[in-house]
Amino acid sequence: MNTAPQNLASPAPAGTGELAARFAREFGGTPEGIWQAPGRVNLIGEHTDYNEGFVLPFAIDRTARVAVRVRPDSTVRLLSTYGDQGVVNARLDSLQPGSAKGWTKYPLGVMWALQQRGIEVPGIDLLLDSDVPLGAGLSSSHAIECAVISALNELTGAGLEAQDMVLATQRAENEFVGAPTGIMDQSASLRGSEGHAVFLDCRDQNARLVPFETQPADLVMLVIDTKVSHSHADGGYASRRASCELGAEVLGVKALRDVQVGDLAEASGLLDEVTFRRVRHVVTENDRVLRTVELLESEGPGAIGSLLDASHASMRDDFEISCAELDLAVDTSRASGAIGARMTGGGFGGAAVALTPVALEQAVRDAVVKAFADAGYKVPDIFTVSPAAGARRIA
């Protein structure tokens, strides 16, 4: 069975020269620059963001790249190397939530959000090329938005700080795209740095880089995309949020961030059984993020395996957002050599991550592919990611 590194979720990215050549063919002339922004994986800290807690994502070595040129008018021409939509035309003076379809709502949403901040946005020609897999929980949409906002920030001379760009892309996603996302994905994409994870406090939105270097530790981070997207994901998400709000209300705190692990014994007498387990996941997960940060700073990635495992068990048993495919990916990875594994992302499908010794990478890949085949599941997509640089100009 050959599941080796060619098992990529997307084709290799075009080089900058190739992208400029394609730009010339499609739009004529040359782009003013090429900007890139990465997707992200959440290392640990799931469903803690809307409880004003902690998350620890990292920017990955899969990026969206945009070649951009300002136009003298208010026309926007957009083309992606992915799909067959061709060039999409839009007008800057008629941007409003709900007005865009397909992938163009991401770049247009960013342009709209900048307009809402009072920034004069010019018409542009834009060519997108991305190797962030779509819909695998690696935030391909934020990679696009962060690449576009980086380009426009420079081309308009707006001079936005990273945090302003985080909030503008959140507004684009929430109001223009209509996705109720927080600040984690774009914070990782905009603030990420090679060999680091981004430790984010979702209450005050402070971010700090934490060393996360897999290579010197002879480890690789495998992403196992189960290719499962469960239909009850939306309802499940809303009901988990409602449980968290109920828990915070009964416990008399602003958010579950304010409950400590030591408070849980008392909380169990005040909450119904299900709400208690939801609360326990959030409270212990926040604690695990803090302990992961401590261990990464003191000992390195080889020390965090059991925290990843505990995070998965908590999501499976207390928060109940895993599924059979994710559990199989995690259990099989562990059994075949990963030092820690967990589902990552919102749950009910999507991807798992498995921190794996380099020497055992192939064994883990083969074991997971075999286990999925034996169970009659879809063939999973398995690839490595490493902690990479955040959004920047590359040409």
Active site residues: 185
| Part of the chain binding ligand ADP (CB under 6 A), chosen from 89-97, 131-139, 147-155, 240-248 | 131-139
Q: With respect to ligand ADP, which residue has the nearer C-beta, 101 or 378?
A: 101
Establish if 344 lies at the interface with ligand ADP (CB under 6 A).
Answer: no
Could you say whether residue 141 binds ligand ADP (CB under 6 A)? Answer: yes
- Between CA 188 and CA 297 the distance in angstroms is 18
Is-contact 219 356, C-beta < 8 A? yes
243-247 — which CB contacts under 8 Å span 24+ positions? 243/274, 243/275, 243/278, 243/279, 244/47, 244/50, 244/51, 244/278, 244/279, 244/282, 246/275, 247/271, 247/275, 247/276, 247/278, 247/279, 247/282
- Which residue's beta carbon is nearest to the bound ligand ADP? 103
Q: Which is nearer to Mg ion, 139 or 332 (CB)?
A: 139
* 139 binds ligand ADP, rule: CB under 6 A: yes
Size of the site for ligand ADP (CB under 6 A): 15
Quick one: which H or E segment has residue 196? strand 196-201
Kindly tell me which residue out of 48, 80, 332, 336 binds ligand ADP, with binding defined by CB under 6 A. Answer: 80
8 A C-beta contact, residue 157 and residue 110: no
Q: For ligand ADP, which residue of 88, 108, 128, 207 counts as binding (CB under 6 A)? A: 128
Residues between 216 and 245 with contacts to ligand ADP, criterion CB under 6 A:
none
Residues 349/228, Cβ–Cβ less than 8 Å: yes
Q: How far is the CB of 45 from ligand ADP (least distance, A)?
A: 17
Binding of residue 37 to ligand ADP (CB under 6 A)? no
Rounded Cα distance between 44 and 199, Å, is 10
* Of 150 and 243, CB closest to ligand ADP: 150
Q: What one-letter code names the amino acid at 271?
A: L
> Candidates 46-54, 136-144, 271-279, 313-321 — which segment interacts with Mg ion by CB under 5 A?
136-144
Piece of 24-32, 138-146, 271-279, 343-351 that binds Mg ion (CB under 5 A): 138-146
Asked if 29 and 391 touch (Cβ cutoff 8 Å), the reply is: no
Contact, 317 vs 233, CB < 8 A? no
Residue 85: CB minimum distance to ligand ADP, A? 8
Residues 81-100 that bind ligand ADP (CB under 6 A): 82-83
Q: Which pair of structure tokens corresponds to residue 239?
A: 């009901």
Looking at this protein, which amino acid is placed at residue 169? T
Backbone dihedral angles phi then psi of residue 324, each to the nearest 5 degrees = -60, -40
> Within the chain, where are the H helices?
16-27, 105-116, 140-155, 162-171, 184-191, 233-251, 264-268, 273-298, 305-317, 324-335, 361-375
128 binds, among ligand ADP, Mg ion, none (CB under 5 to 8 A by kind): ligand ADP
Q: Quick one: which segment of 109-117, 127-135, 196-204, 232-240 binds ligand ADP (CB under 6 A)?
A: 127-135
Q: Which of 42, 51, 63, 140 binds ligand ADP (CB under 6 A)?
A: 140
Cα gap 131→134, rounded to integer Å? 9
* Whether 57 contacts 83, CB under 8 Å: no
Q: Please report, as a single letter, which amino acid is at residue 5.
A: P
The yes or no reply on residue 180 touching ligand ADP (CB under 6 A) is: no
Give the footprint of ligand ADP on residues 303-322 (CB under 6 A).
Answer: none
Q: Which of 141, 150, 286, 292 binds Mg ion (CB under 5 A)?
A: 141
Task: By CB under 6 A, tell whether 102 contacts ligand ADP.
Answer: yes
* Residues engaged in binding Mg ion (CB under 5 A): 139, 141
* Residues engaged in binding ligand ADP (CB under 6 A): 80, 82-83, 102-103, 128, 130, 134-135, 137-141, 144
